[in-house]
Structure 1
């Protein structure tokens, strides 16, 4: 069969281009460390890598959410610890004042200290996180949740509870709203002992302050009865805060457990990704050497083909 010079020339160019493409592809694989440089290299493998990277990205976002969640819960835990410490001090003072050995002026002085603790509890209730958001405002985290107007603390937040996604199928509450924490104590109001309406932690403390500062002229028996009821309210307030602290502790434990699960999953994803897309350097370097030799051979062959024209022999 007769082969034209142009055909041989074309075949030589094609051979060189093919060898050069293979060589460049191998060099790109070596420089990137990846076996799959483009989807056409391994369509099934490329689809699997895409899915694995998406799972990795989602899980990394869950870990970021967990860090935010842990920070928020820890700040809330610190704030409630401060409330508990303050209430315990208030309780100590109330027991101390509930004695016939203290006269009205001494009780009034204790009442002044109670007032300071009242302000402290209000400040704890208006605690913010690192982003300037109020912990106890519910969904309304941008506005001050508790406002003291003439000794009466009003709640301006809502009863919502914010959650953060920590896995594909799990959410954990990042805080508690102020109504559930501070405004719903099942106490007994001295002004209306028969009432079953809930009291706020602030009202409980303010009631104690009022009792101590206005004890002048109050019958001892009436005073002790009112103080006993108020001390009972303080105990209920402490119990309610303790319940919230227990809930925070449980959520922190759950968060840390999920964090470990996510970390293990990320390790598994990294291993699978490596097995799917990472390059076998030993094989690739050996292939590179073969392809370099192939390209050199194609170039040498093409050089000889260029010299086969009959005009070179005239």
Structure 2
């Protein structure tokens, strides 16, 4: 078969171009340290590399979220630590103020100090983070969640918890809302009442006199009859049909009624079909507990017939509710601490996952330098040989033999 000179030239140039291209590709691999420069180099490896890179980016994003959650929970823990110390101090003051030898003036001094502690607790509840966001406001973190009017403190935030994606399948709350921390605290021996009817009888006070007979969490109803001159009391929790009264007798405004381990005082004019419902308060804010103590300490005992007894009972209830507040805030701190501990575990897991991603990516993308240098030397030799052979062949001519 005859091969034309132009065909021979074209084939030689194409081969040299191919060798030059392969040599250039190996040089790029050596410069970047990557085996896969374009998806066409290894389509399957490129797809796998893309998946791993996406997983690595998500892992890095989760790590950033863990840092944000850790910072927020650490700031919150610092505030709750201060609140814990405040409550412990107030609890000690309650014990000291309950000393029966103190005068009314002495107790008022304690009340003044506790009002200061109330303001301090409100300030802690309105704490902000480094960005100026209120810690305990839920999602409404751009405004102070707690506002006070005298002894009454109200919550203006919401119950939202900010969830951050801290793991591949784990979301974690980076805050606790103020209503859950400071407002909804389990209460002991605290009651509320409501009145129905056309008369004016209302509950003045309730005192637990015998805890062995008092039924925690029960609701009672006092009904009036005979022109409001007699009362009948029912335990509507145990006896919703009100078939068996727990107490009955003549009603005298302001005279205590002894029943179910409690002493309650109802005052005012009663008429037929009037009812006074007495139910326990299940949750009470820390601020209300403090305010109750302050009001109790500001109420004079000297010159009253039952003032000392009411003071003893009130201080006992205050002590119980301060203990409940302390237990509650310690439980919140335990939950916050558990989340911080989980973040540390997720950090270790995330670090191990990142190393795994890096190892797999290295196995797919990274260049084998020994093989690449060997290929480079081989391609250089082939290119040089093809260039030299082309130079000699291109110099052949019959005119050299004439």
- Give the one of 284, 289, 294 matched to 1:199: 284
Q: Which runs of 5+ in 1 are unaligned?
A: none
Instruction: Specify the alignment match of 1:102 in structure 2.
Output: 102
1:189, distance to aligned residue in structure 2 (A): 4.2
**Bigger strand share:** 2
Closer, same or farther: CA 192–235 of 1 in aligned 2, 3 Å: farther
1:313, distance to aligned residue in structure 2 (A): 7.8
The answer to whether 1:133 aligns with 2:133 is yes
Distance 2:27 2:364 in 1: 19
After superposition, where does 1:185-264 map in structure 2 within 5 Å?
185-187=185-187, 188-189=189-190, 193=206, 194-197=278-281, 198-215=283-300, 217=302, 219-264=307-352
Cα-to-partner distance string for 1:217-258 (whole Å, 9 max, x where unaligned)? 462222221111111111111111111111112222222112
> Does the aligned pair in 1 maintain the 2:147–2:155 contact within 8 Å?
yes
Closer, same or farther: CA 10–91 of 1 in aligned 2, 3 Å: same
TM-score, normalised on structure 2? 0.73
TM-score, normalised on structure 1? 0.93
Once structures 1 and 2 are overlaid, which stretch shifts more, 298-307 or 252-261?
Answer: 298-307
Instruction: Specify the alignment match of 2:154 in structure 1.
Output: 154
1:172, distance to aligned residue in structure 2 (A): 1.5
Cα-to-partner distance string for 1:186-211 (whole Å, 9 max, x where unaligned)? 22448765543322111111222222
> Does the aligned pair in 1 maintain the 2:301–2:308 contact within 8 Å?
no
Distance 2:141 2:285 in 1: 20
Distance 2:397 2:309 in 1: 129
Once structures 1 and 2 are overlaid, which stretch shifts more, 52-61 or 3-12?
Answer: 3-12
Instruction: Specify the alignment match of 2:233 in structure 1.
Output: none
Distance 1:192 1:58 in 2: 60
Q: Secondary structure at the match of 1:161?
A: coil
Distance 1:228 1:174 in 2: 36
**Bigger helix share:** 1
Q: Secondary structure at the match of 1:131?
A: coil
Distance 1:308 1:121 in 2: 102
1:280, distance to aligned residue in structure 2 (A): 0.8
> Does the aligned pair in 2 maintain the 1:39–1:46 contact within 8 Å?
yes
1:143, distance to aligned residue in structure 2 (A): 2.0
1:215, distance to aligned residue in structure 2 (A): 3.5
Once structures 1 and 2 are overlaid, which stretch shifts more, 37-46 or 227-236?
Answer: 227-236
After superposition, where does 1:1-314 map in structure 2 within 5 Å?
1-187=1-187, 188-189=189-190, 193=206, 194-197=278-281, 198-215=283-300, 217=302, 219-308=307-396
1:137, distance to aligned residue in structure 2 (A): 1.3
Q: Secondary structure at the match of 2:280?
A: coil
For the pair shown, the structure with the greater C-alpha radius of gyration is 2
Cα-to-partner distance string for 1:45-74 (whole Å, 9 max, x where unaligned)? 111111111111111111111111111112
Distance 1:162 1:146 in 2: 19
1:285, distance to aligned residue in structure 2 (A): 1.0
1:26, distance to aligned residue in structure 2 (A): 0.7
Distance 1:215 1:26 in 2: 95
Question: RMSD in angstroms over aligned alpha carbons?
Answer: 2.1
Distance 1:56 1:87 in 2: 46
